[in-house]
Amino acid sequence: MNGALFLGKRAMLQTTLAGVTLPTPLVLASGIIGTSATLLTRAAALGAGAVTAKSAGPELRKGHRNPICFDWGEGLINAVGLPNPGATHEADLLAAAKQALAPSRVALIASIFAGTPEQFAAVAQIVLQANPDILELNISCPNVHDDFGEPFAASCAGAASVAAAVKPLCRAAGVPMFIKLAPNVPNIGRIAADAVAAGADGITAINTMPGMVIDIESARPILTNRSGGLSGPMLRPIAVRCVYEIAEAVPGTPIIGTGGVTSGADAIEMLMAGATAVGVGSAIYYRGLEAMQQISEEMTLWLQSHGVASLDDIRGMAHR
């Protein structure tokens, strides 16, 4: 491939997310490959525009016992349980990843969780020392209810309370703050609007959908945690609907559309629904870490075959 053609393809996919320039609109979703600098830089080399680290909490957490993930035929179900080394150790891992990613200009998104708005702020203060490009607040994990109670993403007040607690820290650090929302709510648009009003710079939509799979021979749920989060292709129509409704509720707010994207066509659909960037998670299971590069190439071919010069020409097209 000659240099001009290569640069032209890169320019076609370049995206700006809350003021952060991404070489491609594809964002590695949180929890897929952890916070290893080696693995995150590999994802960057294979087509990611941004990479999201594993969610970190206030302290060391081992997560749930196996089995924690199962391919049930139509997608995946998992209840990993948010294992992480704690905020202080995570900040060291993030700093190493940030340094390793610098030559690629691929953005680093840190992800955090906690049990109260005050704990979110405490974790954010530690993690922000690593200077991530974006901070994502995971307020919607569906498989740790026994530990934290109802997710903050379940209500407008809950989402707004976390956003308000962390926003001053992100503002002082100059780091955009995204809120990760859940699909199983009555009105995700209203929750997104309240989060934005409370200070969120962007929305990540969506987290996995709660579900359960039972082994009919043992008559027991397959996962140790009993219930878990559904992901994979079956989740995509739900994610597309959520992204569409959020784009209607908070026009102009950056959205990372995440859920079941495994091909370039899927990514194009998510952008048409109103996403600014596209999260990729379970595609890594189905297509390997090379999924990022493959999806980028498929997107480029679609854009060229339809005479589209840039992603801006199709972003939010379903609303017009």
pLDDT value of residue 1: 43
Domain limits at 179? 3-319
pLDDT value for 86: 96
- Name the pairing type of β-strands 76-78 and 228-231: antiparallel
Torsion of CA 161, 163, 169, 175, to 10 degrees: 180
DSSP bridge partners of 316: none
Query: How many whole angstroms separate alpha carbon 106 and alpha carbon 41?
Result: 9
Identify the DSSP state of 62: -
**Nearest-CA neighbor of 251 among 219, 276, 280, 279?**
276
pLDDT of residue 2: 41
Q: Which residues, including other chains, have CB under 8 Å from residue 18's CB and lie 6 or more apart?
A: 134, 176, 178, 201, 202, 254
Tokens representing residue 193 in the block: 């609007």
CATH of the domain at 281: 3.20.20.70
Could you give the number of structural domains in the chain?
A: 1
- In which residue ranges of the chain is pLDDT below 70? 1-10, 142-149
Cβ burial, residue 94 (10 Å; 0-12/13-18/19+) = buried
Q: Is the pTM of this model over 0.85?
A: yes
**Whether the Cβ atoms of residue 243 and residue 190 lie closer than 8 Å to each other:** no
**Residue 289 has what pLDDT?**
87
Which one is catalytic: 141, 156, 170, 242? 141
Contact by Cβ (8 Å): 315, 275? yes
User: Is-catalytic flag, 141?
Assistant: yes
pLDDT of residue 208: 95
Q: Tell me if 61 sits within 8 A of 79, measured CB to CB.
A: no
Rounded Cα gap, residues 110 and 131, in angstroms: 9
